């Protein structure tokens, strides 16, 4: 009863009318954001952060969580009907989803995506319910050395697992680590990189960085990208998939649920990586891989299941370890801190109402999304036709007003504009802002715990290797760091062997 009592109390929390309303509001906003190409849940949550100050912490996080996993549903609609991914995690859905729509099976594609998303999300929530307390109890043994090793591993994984150029991800992470050092040294009181500016003495606040990079930066970039006309959406009929379609997609849904759940836990993983990995897995295990790209229902079911499972499971490291697994989790991490809540091993015991309220709200949110996903398609497609030139100025104004209301500071507004320009240039030149934000969040954790560790270990870094948990994490860190070089050497050796074999066969012939 010690376990199930708080879990059942969590349902009482989420069924409170106010929390239920904010859960509904969050998933609807999430679906809308998923439909609008480019903006994404990270940018939306960053923009809406100031609006959460006037509500209870559990209510605010329920809404922000709903935006995150709701966006995974919404991105499917435009991927299938318009060949236009509304969210990065829905890119691979285009390959087979749009082909199915052209074949007159748009309803089947959307229906199987909704079913897979619901199943994947629900399985991940069950996993979150039972696994999170175990992780939290294990994490109670963490001290400064363990958190140092974990932060190091998290930063490395962000740079190496994230999609795109690894070098650019590492550069972005390095900038994030530098920004985390700005301000007064917490141990000596010395000012670092403030250039005499009193506004920087307490460091750079997380919210202007997030609102600038993900809010203003995304708006500027999308204005440039969305001048192209949007084609007319294909028609939707026979939304509920036939029995044979469900049977054919069931294996992909099962594999996507498991794969997405575990990839969502990893720092740098998340919904996008999970959907790509799921598509690759389905194509590799298929009896006839040539079907993919030509309307294979598994190519829709697998990725859509995986991205929802990953969106849910990424709450495990955030809530139990205080480690955000991706950019959106980093912004929700900031929202928790703003609300006076410190995520980590003590959260379940110190604030069970918030923890189980947020977890159980996902059960309700997934049901709401399943019910609403198909009926609202027509509404969302109409909203998509609103010109970006109208939406962008309104969104930018809301962002800047929100930045000002945090501390009534024009300096914060200037920071948002500055980081907005940086975010635009980063997107323009192929740098993802996610590694920067994650490194900024993890940088403070890394520095403070590293210095505490050295004080405890009396300046002897070999002490990290005498503690089982920190030693294990550092071994994983080294393996992840050197694996690309090992893999490259193996590939080169394999290519040379094949070349020599081909020459020998030619000579023998």
Domain coordinates in residue numbering, the chain: 4-466
Phi-psi region of 456 (alpha: psi -120 to 50; beta: other; left: phi over 0): alpha
Closest residue by Cα to residue 349 from 325, 324, 319: 319
- Torsion on CA atoms 37, 43, 45, 51, rounded to nearest 10: -110
Q: Which helix (H) or strand (E) holds 183?
A: strand 183-184
Handedness of CA 127, 133, 137, 139 (dihedral sign): positive
User: What is the residue-level pLDDT of the chain in tens, covering all 509 positions?
Assistant: 466 777 788 888 888 899 999 999 988 888 887 776 556 677 778 777 777 777 888 898 899 888 888 877 777 777 777 766 656 667 778 888 888 888 878 878 888 888 888 898 899 999 888 888 888 777 777 788 888 888 888 777 776 655 567 788 888 888 988 998 888 887 777 888 888 888 888 888 877 887 788 778 877 887 776 554 455 555 565 667 778 888 888 899 999 999 889 888 876 556 777 887 888 888 888 888 888 888 888 888 888 898 888 888 888 888 888 888 777 788 888 888 888 888 888 888 888 888 898 889 989 988 888 888 767 766 666 665 666 667 677 777 777 777 776 677 888 889 889 998 998 898 888 888 878 887 887 888 888 888 888 888 888 888 888 888 888 888 988 887 887 788 878 878 788 877 777 777 777 76
Cβ pair 249, 241 in contact under 8 A: yes
Rounded Cα–Cα distance for residues 182 and 503 (Å): 59
Per-position DSSP letters for 52-82, written without gaps between them:
GTTS-HHHHHHHHHHHHHHHHHHHHHHHHHT
For the entire predicted model, the pTM comes to: 0.73
Quick count: other Cβ atoms within 10 Å of Cβ 407?
Answer: 13
**Interior CA angle at 336 toward 334 and 340, to 5°?**
115
What are the tokens at 498? 């094949």
Dihedrals phi, psi of 60, to nearest 5 degrees? -65, -45
């Amino acid at each position: 009863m010690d376990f199930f009592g708080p879990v059942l109390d969590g349902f009482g929390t989420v069924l409170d009318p106010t929390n239920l309303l904010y859960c509904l509001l969050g998933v609807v906003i999430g679906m809308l954001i998923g439909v609008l190409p480019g903006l994404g849940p990270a940018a939306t949550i960053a923009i809406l952060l100031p609006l959460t100050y006037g509500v209870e912490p559990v209510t605010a996080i329920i809404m922000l969580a709903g935006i995150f996993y709701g966006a995974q549903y919404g991105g499917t609609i435009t991927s299938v009907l318009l060949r236009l991914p509304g969210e990065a995690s829905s890119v691979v859905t285009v390959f087979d989803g749009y082909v199915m729509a052209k074949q007159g099976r748009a309803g089947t594609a959307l229906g199987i995506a909704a079913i897979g998303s619901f199943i994947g999300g629900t399985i991940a929530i069950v996993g979150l319910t039972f696994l999170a307390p175990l992780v939290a109890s294990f994490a109670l043994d963490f001290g400064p050395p363990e958190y140092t090793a974990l932060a190091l591993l998290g930063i490395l994984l962000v740079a190496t697992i994230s999609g795109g150029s690894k070098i650019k991800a590492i550069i972005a992470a390095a900038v994030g680590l530098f920004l985390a050092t700005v301000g007064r040294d917490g141990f000596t009181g010395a000012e670092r990189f403030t250039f005499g500016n009193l506004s920087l003495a307490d460091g750079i606040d997380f919210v202007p960085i997030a609102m600038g990079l993900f809010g203003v930066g995304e708006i500027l970039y999308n204005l440039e990208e969305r001048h192209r006309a949007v084609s007319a959406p294909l028609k939707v009929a026979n939304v509920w998939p036939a029995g044979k379609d469900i049977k054919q997609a069931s294996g992909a849904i099962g594999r996507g649920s498991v794969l997405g759940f575990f990839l969502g836990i990893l720092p740098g993983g998340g919904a996008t990586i999970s959907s790509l990995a799921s598509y690759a897995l389905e194509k590799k295990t298929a009896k006839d891989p040539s079907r993919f790209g030509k309307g294979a229902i598994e190519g829709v079911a697998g990725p859509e299941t995986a991205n929802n499972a990953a969106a849910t499971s990424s709450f495990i490291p955030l809530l139990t370890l205080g480690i955000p697994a991706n950019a959106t989790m980093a912004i929700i991490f900031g929202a928790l801190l703003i609300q006076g809540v410190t995520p980590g091993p003590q959260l379940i015991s110190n604030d069970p109402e918030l923890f189980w309220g947020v977890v159980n709200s996902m059960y309700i949110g997934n049901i709401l999304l399943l019910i609403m996903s198909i009926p609202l398609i027509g509404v969302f497609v109409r909203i998509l036709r609103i010109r970006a030139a109208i939406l962008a100025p309104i969104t930018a104004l809301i962002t800047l007003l929100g930045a000002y209301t945090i501390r009534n500071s024009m300096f914060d507004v200037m920071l948002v504009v500055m980081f907005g320009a940086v975010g635009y240039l980063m997107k323009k030149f192929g740098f993802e802002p996610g590694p920067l934000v994650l490194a900024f969040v993890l940088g403070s954790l890394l520095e403070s715990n590293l210095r505490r560790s050295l004080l405890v270990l009396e300046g002897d870094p070999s002490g990290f290797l005498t503690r089982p948990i920190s030693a294990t994490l550092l071994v994983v860190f080294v393996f992840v760091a050197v694996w690309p070089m090992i893999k490259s050497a193996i590939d080169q050796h394999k290519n040379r062997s094949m070349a020599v074999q081909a020459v020998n066969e030619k000579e023998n012939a």
